[in-house]
Amino acid sequence: DIQMTQSPSSLSASVGDRVTITCRASQSIINYLNWYQQKPGKAPKLLIYVVSSLHRGVPSRFAGSGSETEFTLTISSLQPEDFATYYCQQSFTSPHTFGQGTKLEIK
Amino acid sequence: EAQLLESGGGLVQPGGSLRLSCAASGFSFSNSAMTWVRQAPGKGLEWVATISGNGGLTFYADSVKGRFTISRDNSKNTLYLQMNSLRAGDTAVYYCAKEIIVVVVPALSLWGQGTLVTVSS
């Protein structure tokens, strides 16, 4: 199985900050990489698919990049509603494994 | 508006069975692969199983293979997860999700609200 490792596991930041979350795959997944956002008590939501394409309704302050084994999610200017947990997921091969999550908290 | 609504969760004893349902509306269900994802209390997301639009292809996580069966009834726009031989480690919120394919890359574009399964004596 492909292992997905996110870093950091948690992150404290302030409104207006620029933050970056990294996701590493244990082998090449080319561009089969998606990002999800989950708020407490809620279902996850698709944020970015195919590395860098924003799902409908997702603000342009979110951006994804990377290829092969290393990927990043960047939020250019944190807003209060962005404090949540973020998960990467590979869909290159079954099982479509998720990273362990990155909890973004208010400083 | 596209929507997914899970049901069937509850408390079950170890070794018991439970069937989850996921009612879909607002999109072409039969043309969509569907997935179950679970989340143990305080933990991350775990992909469980996926089924193709016509039900002909199924995929399972090793942790549930042989115990869980994913199926669908396209005439009822409903997805199922039959869970047998349940263990304490299966305790989780179970989400159903709709899969989209963009440039051959699958992603889970629509999620239900989840249903809690608790395995305990």
Q: How far, in Å, CA of B48 to CA of B68, rounded?
A: 9
The pLDDT, as a whole number, for residue B103 is 85
Q: How many CB contacts within 8 angstroms connect chain A with chain B? A: 66
- How many of the other CB atoms lie within 10 Å of CB of A20? 14
- A38 within 8 A of A104, measured Cβ to Cβ: no
Low-confidence residues in chain A, pLDDT < 70: none
- A64 within 8 A of A51, measured Cβ to Cβ: yes
Residues of chain B with pLDDT > 90, as a percent, come to 97
CA distance B51 to chain A (A): 12
The pLDDT, as a whole number, for residue A38 is 98
Which whole number is the average pLDDT over B20-40? 97
- B69 within 8 A of B86, measured Cβ to Cβ: no
The pLDDT, as a whole number, for residue B15 is 98
Whether chain B has a CB inside 8 Å of the CB on A100: the answer is yes
Nearest residue of chain A to residue B35 (CA atoms):
A96
Confidence of residue B100 (pLDDT cuts 50, 70, 90): very high
For B42-70, write each residue's pLDDT tens digit.
Answer: 999 999 999 999 999 999 999 999 999 99
DSSP B5-44: EEE--EEE-TT--EEEEEEEESS-GGGS-EEEEEE-TTS-
Residues of chain B with pLDDT > 70, as a percent, come to 100
For B77-96, write each residue's pLDDT tens digit.
Answer: 999 999 999 999 999 999 99
- Tokens 């407490």: give the residue: A40
Nearest to B59 among A38, A42, A94 (CB): A94
Q: How far, in Å, CA of A29 to CA of A49, rounded?
A: 13
Nearest to A49 among B44, B107, B111 (CB): B107
Whether chain B has a CB inside 8 Å of the CB on A96: the answer is yes
